[in-house]
Amino acid sequence: MSDPHSAPIVSTPPSTAPTEAGSGAPTDAGLPENARKNKPRGLFGDAWRDLRRKPIFWISSTLIVFFLVLAAFPWLFTSKDAVNGALSNSLVPPSGDAWFGYDVQGRDVYARVIYGARASIIVALSAVAGTLLLGGMMGMVAGYLGGWVDAVLSRIADVFFGLPFVLGAIVILTTFNGVGSENGKWEIMGLVTLSLVVLSWPVSMRLMRSSVLATKEADYIVAARALGASTGRIIFKHLLPNCLAPLLVYGTIMVGSFIGAEATLSFLGVGLKSPVVSWGIMISEAQNYLRVSPFLLFFPAGFLVTAVLSFVMLGEAVREAFDPKLR
């Protein structure tokens, strides 16, 4: 059988009759101009094309960019001190001088809300990165190797998956960040991040494992293996790009969930602590003054809810874009 790529190509004038099937190499001369330009897109290309048409994507993305800028450059939004205050301003309600009022220690609530975004978002993003990295690697190894490796890693994931999230985080944080501990700002944030990663990685491990199991027997993987491709090349060149979509969706949604989880742990007194400023700490401090000064709770809670919803809405939009059934 001759190689089709080496077959001679015979050009014919446009006015001649159509070439019979099998008489020569196919040509796109008779195709419309737009048909020749439209090339097949990949998974991410199709997802991006679908995302651009969704108003919810642009709304959530705009809010997320705002919160990221807020966390990275808080001094652009306020010049007031978020840590120190004057007791003479204790519980002063919102006014032109202090838009969000002052807390019980006379600290500007607006400044604390602005600076509180940094700790909450850093913890959430770091926890998501650690969760996806650890769970993704474990899931890739378990799904690709299979056998006893898959069995052992799956059982380890089941053990961690069975731990109650809040209870497990309380145990970890009270052990390493309990009363009397002298951890600094970054040590406290690192411990909270570690507790979130330890208790959340099994979900990303299961997502990656199931994607690898469904993909590793595909024709292009079998062909690459038959051509002698190394395990590393198969994993990073073929498997990983085609198995990332579920993790991206999960990670986007989990950023919002981890912001809420950090606030919950701080509210319970086992998460972030002073001198760190976060929305969870502000909500915890406001609970005793809810009746007399409700603004202490309203503003940090409003920013917290908006940030969580922004990431959740973006995650839902990404999920719909990557799922062909929902397009």
Residue 243, both tokens? 């198995």
Question: pLDDT tens across 160-215, in order?
Answer: 988 888 889 988 888 887 666 667 778 888 999 999 999 999 999 999 999 999 88
The answer to whether 283 and 296 are in contact (CB under 8 A) is no
Instruction: Write down the domain spans for the chain.
Output: 57-80+101-326
pLDDT at 258: 94
User: What mean pLDDT value characterizes the chain?
Assistant: 82
The residue among 166, 169, 147, 150 whose CA lies nearest residue 158 is 150
At 324, the pLDDT band (50, 70, 90 cuts) reads low
Task: Name the phi and psi angles at 310, rounded to 5.
Answer: -60, -45
> Using an 8 Å Cβ cutoff, are 47 and 318 in contact?
yes
Considering the segment(s) 57-80+101-326 as one domain, its CATH architecture is Orthogonal Bundle (1.10)
Task: Name 108's bridge partners.
Answer: 102
pLDDT of residue 54: 85
Residue 40 has pLDDT above 70, yes or no: no
Residue 122 is predicted with a pLDDT of 93
Secondary structure (3-state) at 102: strand
Greatest mean pLDDT among 23-27, 272-276, 280-284: 280-284
CA distances from 140 to 130, 151, 155, 198, 230 (A): 15, 13, 15, 18, 15
